Amino acid sequence: MPAWVVSARESAERDRAATEKGTPSRSLMQRAGNAAAAEITRRYGERLKSGAVVFAGPGNNGGDGWVVAGALAAADVKVSVIETGTPDPRKSPDAVAEREAAVPRVTVMRDTPGDTGVVVDALLGTGFEGEPRAEIAAAIGRINALRGKGAAVVAIDVPSGLNATTGQHSTVVVADLTTSFGGVKRGLLLARDCCGEIAVIDIGLDDAKSWRSARLPMLVDGKWVKSRVPPIRYDAHKGTRKHLAIVGAGAGMPGAVVLAARAALRSGIGLVRTMVAPENAGAVLNAVPSALNATWPDGDARIKTEIASWADAVVIGPGLGKSNESRGLVERILSAADVPVLFDADALNVFADDTASFARLLLGKKALLTPHVAEFARLMDTTADKVLDNRFDIGTDLAQKLGAVVLLKGTPTVIFSPNGDRLVVARGSAALGTGGSGDILAGVAGTMLAQIGDTIDAAACAAWIHGRAAELCDYVRGTTLEDVLYALPRAWNEPEPAYESPVLAVLPNVAR
């Protein structure tokens, strides 16, 4: 079952669809609360010996908290509940029922205990917007204070105070674990430092087919990636492992192609050919001696022999430069070579004011664009802020206009297909927030484009592996791109992750 990425509105629609199909809303609440209690017990069993405190709000999120409280108490955990208001029978009858069921087994209290093992945040849910009212804000402060004393904080669905769609917040719970039900809320991916680990939990809202047809974005996980990356057979050779051409490195910028080539080699490509400005040929050859080294092709004959009839994919753009010569080179390669193409950096910038010509050049080709936010904004003639505010949706128009897959780099990375499919990759660390990170991604994605062929799958696999390699470096401060390169083989060869049902996916804690 995929984990979908949803806004607050989409989350509510999925809940409503489930109840309209016959699942009682109280049953959904019980599934959520019991699953959260099971995850808390699995992760924090030793801490629970010191007891648990549940902060329950007056709405349905508080109802989830009452289910958690009852389930933990039934497992002989000493549970205290602090309320910020009792549920309204007219608005939250399920929460009223769960409170009544749990009260005999727990201690309802007003004062914050001196210490406890686990704190459960069930104050505010996905429908929250704006600023928490005074009593809720005070409770958020009490939760964070308990965390400061060593308690593990678990947020139910979203950390209280966080907007589930935009990730905006001021007064907010800082959690060690967030249990997100039925999918992962957009806001969690935009405010990872508040969420701790994120466990996406299936509560039986729907079947995969119905929501795939609704074109919700899908969260990419390691299991999905491992299922799509082709194995390297014991009798493989450089031909079966495919050939990749990398075109870039204009005047004074050889490093970008060096990083891309090294990333491709550390991702399992059979053979790399770098094609760079003449003045950079020596530097690139010395830095990547295992690659074939050539200068920019000066005519169609070389494009045909060194790219069209040789390469299984081509990466254009790392360090290319934005001169007229650069644009002419891109146009000549596209006209003469019919192979899958990845456009990065300056190969995008040279078309920033002329996407109509770009679309004509891409007609009928397998193409992958990998812009960062500023490059995307230039292509769409908009602002970076508008791109960031609409990052989960804005790329579909560009993908359809150009007939290409668009990988919008960022936190998270969102990948758009011309047919409306969207994939979200939420792996990585701030170690990737440095110049040259995109060049490594280009090399990894170029390898996948050559070996897989399917453009959107290649993009998603590459983005996930790129992010995972950064995570494996562990520390952010002091980590260099060379460290990320060295971590790539580990990222590729890790065992497939396994989750215990009903957990669909787990995202790591990025707050260090």
What's the domain range around 451?
222-493
Say if 511 falls within a structural domain.
no
Coil/strand/helix, residue 191? coil
Q: Give the chain's largest Cα–Cα span.
A: 83
Each residue's pLDDT tens digit, 231-259: 999 999 999 999 999 999 999 999 999 99
Query: How do strand 79-83 and strand 243-248 relate by DSSP bridges?
Result: unpaired
Q: Both 247 and 173 in a single domain? A: no
The two structure tokens encoding residue 192? 């990872």
CATH number, residue 163: 3.40.50.10260
Strands of 220-270 (E only): list them: 243-248
Co-location of 66 and 183 in the same domain: yes
Model pTM score: 0.96
Q: Residue written as tokens 């995969």?
A: 208
Question: 295 and 383 in one domain?
Answer: yes
Convert the pLDDT of each residue in 430-440 to its tens digit.
Answer: 999 999 999 99
Res 117 pLDDT > 80? yes
- Among 384, 388, 54, CA closest to 189: 388
Q: Please check whether residues 389 and 454 belong to one and the same domain.
A: yes
Q: At 384, which helix (H) or strand (E)?
A: helix 384-389
Residue 428: partners with Cβ closer than 8 Å, 6 or more residues away: 411, 413, 466, 467, 468, 470, 471
pLDDT of residue 212: 55
Write out the E strands in 69-228: 79-83, 107-109, 118-122, 152-156, 177-181, 184-185, 197-201, 218-219
How many whole angstroms separate alpha carbon 176 and alpha carbon 47?
A: 13
**pLDDT value at residue 206:** 67
Q: What sign does the CA torsion over 275, 279, 281, 286 have?
A: negative
Residues 201 and 237 reside in one and the same domain: no
Q: Are 345 and 318 in contact (CB under 8 A)?
A: yes
Q: Tell whether 204 is covered by a domain.
A: yes
Q: Could you give the C-alpha distances from 154 to 17, 108, 144, 173, 509, in angstroms and in order?
A: 27, 19, 11, 9, 13
In a domain, 205, yes or no: yes
If asked whether residues 312 and 199 sit together in one domain, one would say no
* Whole-number percent of the chain with pLDDT over 70: 98
176, 485 in Cβ contact below 8 A? no
Judgement on whether residues 429 and 386 belong to the same structural domain of the protein = yes
**Do 177 and 279 share a structural domain?**
no
What pLDDT is recorded for position 238? 97
Specify whether 190 is located in the same domain as 228.
no
- Average confidence (pLDDT) over 318-331: 95
Report phi then psi at 197, rounded to 5: -70, 150
Cα–Cα distances in Å, from 219 out to 115, 393, 409? 37, 14, 15
Per residue in 406-452, pLDDT (tens digit) is 999 999 999 999 999 999 999 999 999 999 999 999 999 999 999 99
Express each pLDDT in 207-237 by its tens digit: 545 555 568 999 999 999 999 999 999 999 9
Q: Do 145 and 112 meet the contact criterion of CB atoms below 8 Å apart?
A: yes
Read off the tokens for 35: 């699953």
Q: Does the residue 63 lie in any domain?
A: yes
pLDDT of res. 178? 99
Query: Out of 101-105, 246-250, 285-289, 474-478, which region has the weakest mean confidence (pLDDT)?
Result: 474-478
Among 160, 186, 217, identify where a domain stops. 217
In angstroms, the Cα distances linking 169 to 21, 128, 416 are: 34, 11, 27
What average pLDDT does the chain have? 96
Percentage of the chain modeled with pLDDT above 90? 93
Cα-based torsion angle of the residue sequence 132, 192, 80, 96 in order, rounded to the nearest 10 degrees: 60
Can you tell me which residue has the tokens 């969420």? Answer: 195
> Of 184, 217, 250, which residue sits at a domain end?
217
Residues 6+ apart with CB under 8 A from 90: none
Residue 503 lies in a domain: no
Q: What is the CATH number of the domain that holds 349?
A: 3.40.1190.20
328 in the same domain as 227: yes
For the chain, the domain total comes to: 2
Residue 507, domain member (yes or no):
no
Whether cis (ω within 30° of 0) applies to the bond prior to 412 is: yes
Query: Quick one: CA torsion of 274, 277, 280, 281, rounded to 10 degrees?
Result: 50
Do the domain assignments include residue 504?
no
Q: Is residue 505 part of a domain?
A: no
Please write down the HEC assignment for all residues of 134-145.
Answer: HHHHHHHHHHHH
In this structure, the answer to whether residues 179 and 46 fall within a common structural domain is yes
Q: Is 181 helix (H, G, I), strand (E, B) or coil?
A: strand
Please report where in the chains the tokens 């904080």 appear, as a residue: 153
| Length reported for the chain | 512
* pLDDT attached to residue 71: 99
Same domain? For 364 and 256 the reply is yes
Q: What is the pLDDT of residue 512?
A: 63
